[in-house]
Structure 1
Amino acid sequence: MADPADPPAAPSVLRDVAFLRLWAGTTASGLATWALPFVLGLAVLHRELGPAGLGLVLAARTAGFLAAVAVGGVLADRHSRRAVVLWSALAAAAAAPLLAAGLGRSVLLMTCAAALAGAGQGACRPAFQALTAEVVAPEGRQQANAAMTLAVRGSTLAGPALTALLAAFLDVWTLLLGIGLLWLVAALVPGRGSGAPSAAPQAGQRASFRAEFVDGIREARRHPWFLAGLAALTAVIALGYSATSVALPLISRDRYGTEWVLAAAVTAYTLGALGGALVIARWRPRAQGWAAFAGLAAYGFAPLSLVLPLHPAAVIAAYAVAGIGIELFNVPWFTATQREVAPDKLARVSSLDFLVSYGLAPVGLALIAPAITAFGVTPVLAVCAAVCFAAPAAAALVPTARHFARTPAAAD
C-alpha cells in the first residue's frame, strides 16, 4: 500500500511528444555511434581498410570526441541546447560520406572524417543531457533518464546486430552513408526545450571559452557528492572496465577454451543494464546516493569472477549483476546532476563528467595489458576488483553523498 504522504506519481514521460522526439534523436545517435566501429571492422574484413588504418581511424574519433566534449558543454550553456545538438549531429552526419569517399583510397581522409565524427558525437553529449532537463519536468527526469539509458543499451545490442544483418545485402560504402542518415535523424527530430533560457551573459560580455569552462569546474566543486562520484566512476571505468575488457577475451580463450563465454558475458552485462534501467525508472530509494554507489560497486563482481576458476555460469551472472548495478548508479547520477547543478552551467558540468570518466578510459586500457604482462592476470584483476569495491564505498562517505544533494530536502 502506498504511503499517503508520498507525492502522486508523475505522468509517464512516454506520453510526452517532446520527450519522445528527444528520445528518438538520442537513440539514432546511439545507433550511429555503436555501428561505426562495427562497419569499419567489416571494411577490414573486406580488405578496404588495414588493421593499422582501423586503429588510426578509431583513435582519431576518440580524440575528436574528447576535444569537442568540453567545447560542446560551453556552447550548450552559451546558446540554445537544441542548436548545439543540431549542428554537432550535422557535423557527424557530414563525416559519413567523407569516410565512404576515403574507403580504400585515403586513410588520411578517413582519419580526418573520423575526427569530425567524434567531434560531433562529443559536442552533442552534454547538449543532449542539458536538453533533457529542459524538456522534462523535474518529477519525470528519473524516468526520462532511464528511458535514455535503455536507448543507449539497446543500441549496443541492436547497432551491431542490425549492421550485421544489413551487411548481408549492402556494401560498406552504403552502410557508412546509412550511419550519416542516422545522424541526420539525431539532428532534425528533437524539438526545442521549454525550460528557462540560459543565464549566460550577452555576447559582448562573454568571457573566454577557458574561463567559462573553469566556471563550470567551479560549479562542480560546489557539489562534493559530484566530485566524489566522478572520482569513483572514473576509477571503475579506468580500472574495472578496462581490466575486464582486456582480460575477459584471454580468460575465455585460455581458461574455458571457447569464445562463447566472452559473448555470453558481454551480452549478460548489456541485458543486466537494461534490467537495471527498468528497475530504477520507478524505484526511489530513500538514500539514493548510497544506493547508487552500491550499484556502482557491484561492477567489482565482474573482475572478481575472473580471478578464480569458476563455472562459466558464475562469470555470466557476475557480468549481469555488474550491468544492473551500473544503471542503478547512472540514472540517479544523471538525474541528480540535472536537479542540483545551476541550469546555466549544466552542460559544462555534464561535459566535465564525460571528459574525465571517458577520457581516462583509454589510459586504463593502455596500462592494463603491460600490467598483466608484468604481474600476471590474477593479481591485476584482484587489485581492480578491490578498487571497484573501495572507490564507491569511499565516495559514499563524503558529505552530501547520501542523497546526491547539498540538502536532503532537495532530493525529495
Structure 2
Amino acid sequence: MTEKTQSPSVFRNVPFVRLWTGTTASGLAMWALPFVLGLAVLERSITAVELGVVLATRTAGFLAAVPVAGVLADRYPRRRVVFWSCVTAAVATPVIAVGMGKSLLLMAVAATVVGAGQGACRPAFQALVAEVVPESQRQQANAATTLAIRVTTLVGPSLTALAAVLVDARALLAVTAVVWLCAALVPPAGTGRPQTGSTRAGFVADFVDGIKEARRHPWFLAGLAALSVVIATGYSASAVLLPVVSRDRYHTEAVLAAATTAHTLGALAGAVLIARWRPGAAGWAALAGLGCYALIPLSLLLPVHLVVLIAAYAVAGIGIELFNVPWFTATQREVEPGKLARVSSLDFLLSYGLAPVGLAVVAPAVEEFGLSVVLGGCALICLAAPAAAALVPSSRGFRART
C-alpha cells in the first residue's frame, strides 16, 4: 500500500533553499573537473597520462578526507566544515591550471587537495539536511537535491562545450573555483546545536564510534553492502564495457551517448517520482530499485536491439534514485544526530571507495574469463546483493523497528 504526502513544498524553507543551492554548486564543481581536464587533453595542454594521474590523485584525496571529515562534522558546526572544505577546493583548483604543461607533480598535489575538499564536504552536507529540514520533508528535500545534480549532469557537458569555444581549460578551471566559493558561502548555519556524539578522544576512536553506531542498524549495513557491491560490479561493467559493446555490436558511438543520456533521464524521472511516493515497505522498494541495475550488464550481455539497451539504462536510472533518496532519508532519520556525519562518511567511503577497484578489475577479468562470464556474473551479483539485503528484517522499512 502506498500513499502520497501533502506536505508543503520544501522550497518554502529558506535555509533548505540555501543548502540546496550550495550542494548543487558543489556537485557541479565536482563533475566539472574531469570534464574540463578532458578538454585540456583535446587542447593538448596536458596528456592523457597526466589526466589519469590527476584524476587518480583526486580520488585518493577524496577517500582520505571522507572519514576525517565525518569526525570533524560531528565535533564542530557542520556549516563550518562545509565552508572550509569548499574553500580548500576553491583555492586548489586554479593551482591545477598553473601546473598545466609545467609540472605534473604540482597538478597531482593540487588535485589531491581538491579531492580532499570534495570528500570533506559530503558528510557535512548530508548531516545539515537533518538540521534544517523537518523529518516530514526530508525525502522531498533529498529528491530535490539529487534532481538538481542529475540536471547538472545532463546539461553541463553542453554548457561547458559551448564555454570552451570562448575560453580555454585554464579559464574554465577558474570558473570552477568560483563555483566552489558559492558552495562555501551560500549554505545556512544549521541549528547551531553542539554535536554530542563525538568523544574527542582521537580521530580513530571517534570514527570507530561511528562504525559502532552503524552496526546498531542492521538495515544500514545490509543496504550499504548491497550498494557497494552493485557499484563495484554493475557501474564498473557499464563504464568499461558499454563503449566496447557500442563499437563492436552496434558499430556506432551514438549508442554510448544515448544509453548514458537515458540513464540520466531515468534518474530524473526516479527523483521526481520518489519526491512524493511513499511505499508501504520503503526499504524493500528501494532495494528492488537498486536491483534494477542488473538490467545494464544483462543488456550488454544479450544481443538485444539498441532500443532495448537504451531502455534498460533508463530503468536502471529510475531504480537507482528509488534507492538513493529513501536511503539518505532513512539514514538522516534513524542515526543518532551526533553521529550522523560519521555514518554518512562510512557510506561514502565504501560506496565510492570500491568503485575504482571494480573499474580496475573489469578489463583484466574480461581478458581472463571472457566478456559473457564477466557480464553474467555482474548481473547475478546486482540481483543477489539487494535480495540478500532485503532478508534482513529491519530492511523492510529501513527502520530499527519493523
Give the TM-score taking structure 1 as reference length.
0.95
CA offsets, 1:214-259, max 9 Å, x none? 0000000000000000000011000111011111100000010000
Aligned to 1:335: 329
Check the 8 A contact 1:26/1:151 in 2, yes or no.
no
Identity rate, percent: 67
In 2, Cα distance between the equivalents of 1:400 and 1:319?
Answer: 30
Show the counterpart of 1:166: 163
Matched ranges for 1:223-262 at <5 A: 223-262=217-256
**1:243-276 superposed Cα distances (whole Å, 9 cap, x missing partner):** 1111110000001000001100000000100100
Q: How much does 1:8 deviate? A: 6.7
What is the aligned partner in structure 2 of residue 180 from structure 1? Answer: 177
> 370-379 or 258-267, which moves further after superposition?
370-379
Q: Does 1:282 align with 2:276?
A: yes
Q: Which amino acid aligns with 2:234?
A: G
Q: Paired residue for 1:72?
A: 69
**1:217 paired residue number:** 211
CA distance in 1, matches of 2:32, 2:5: 40
* Residue of structure 2 aligned with 1:114, choices 111, 119, 126: 111
CA contact (8 A) 2:197 2:337 kept: no
Shift in Å, 1:369: 0.3
Whether 1:401 aligns to 2:398 is no
Q: 1:47 to 1:8 in 2, by over 3 A?
A: closer
Equivalent of 1:142, from 139, 142, 153?
139
Equivalent residues, number: 402
C-alpha contact (below 8 Å) 1:252/1:262 kept by paired residues: yes
Alpha-carbon distance in structure 1 between the residues aligned to 2:310 and 2:5: 39
Letter in 2 for 1:383: G
Please name the residue that 2:258 is paired with.
264
Aligned to 2:293: 299
1:106 partner amino acid? S
Is it true that 1:385 corresponds to 2:382 in the alignment? no
Equivalent runs, 1:313-324 vs 2, <5 Å: 313-324=307-318
What are the superposed Cα offsets for residues 21-40 of structure 1, whole Å, 9 maximum, x if unpaired? Answer: 11111111111111110110
Q: 1:7 to 1:197 in 2, by over 3 A?
A: farther
CA distance in 2, matches of 1:112, 1:247: 31
Equivalents in 2 of 1:134, 1:158: separation in Å? 30
Which is worse superposed, 58-67 or 105-114?
Answer: 105-114
How many Å apart are 1:379 and its aligned residue? 1.3
Larger displacement relative to structure 2 (190-199 or 236-245): 190-199
Distance in 1 separating the partners of 2:17 and 2:271: 17
Match of 1:94 in 2: 91
Q: Secondary structure at the match of 1:405?
A: coil
1:132-179 deviations in Å (ceiling 9; x for gaps): 110101000000000111122122123222211100101111100000
Q: Displacement, 1:340? A: 0.2
Distance in 1, matches of 2:396 and 2:11, equals: 29
Q: SS at the partner of 1:242? A: helix
Deviation at 1:194, TM superposition (A): 2.2
CA contact (8 A) 1:296 1:392 kept: yes
- Letter matched to residue 153 of structure 2: T
Q: Is the 8 A contact 2:297 2:379 kept in 1?
A: yes
Calculate the TM-score normalised by the size of structure 2: 0.98
Cα distance in structure 2, aligned partners of 1:86 and 1:321: 37
CA distance in 2, matches of 1:75, 1:155: 29
Separation (CA, whole Å) in 1 of partners of 2:179 and 2:94: 13
Q: Is contact 1:126-1:351 (8 Å) kept?
A: yes
Q: What letter corresponds to residue 135 of structure 1 in structure 2?
A: V
1:309 is matched with 303
Mapped contact 1:135–1:195 kept (Cα < 8 A)? no
Does the 8 A contact of 1:34 with 1:160 survive in 2? no
Deviates more, 1:399-408 or 1:61-70: 399-408
Provide the residue aligned with 2:348 in structure 1: 354
Partners in 2 of 1:165 and 1:346 — Cα distance? 40
CA distance in 2, matches of 1:315, 1:337: 33
Give the Cα–Cα distance (whole angstroms) in 2 for the partners of residues 29 and 387 of structure 1.
32
SS of equivalent to 2:195 = coil
- Runs of 5+ consecutive residues of structure 1 not aligned to the other structure: none
Matched position secondary structure for 2:394? coil
Deviation, 1:197, is 3.1
**Cα separation, partners in 2 of 1:27 and 1:7, compared to 1, 3 Å:** closer
Post-superposition, which runs of at least 4 consecutive aligned residues in structure 1 deviate over 4 A? none
Counterpart contact for 1:134–1:196, Cα < 8 Å: no
Q: Is the 8 A contact 2:77 2:192 kept in 1?
A: no
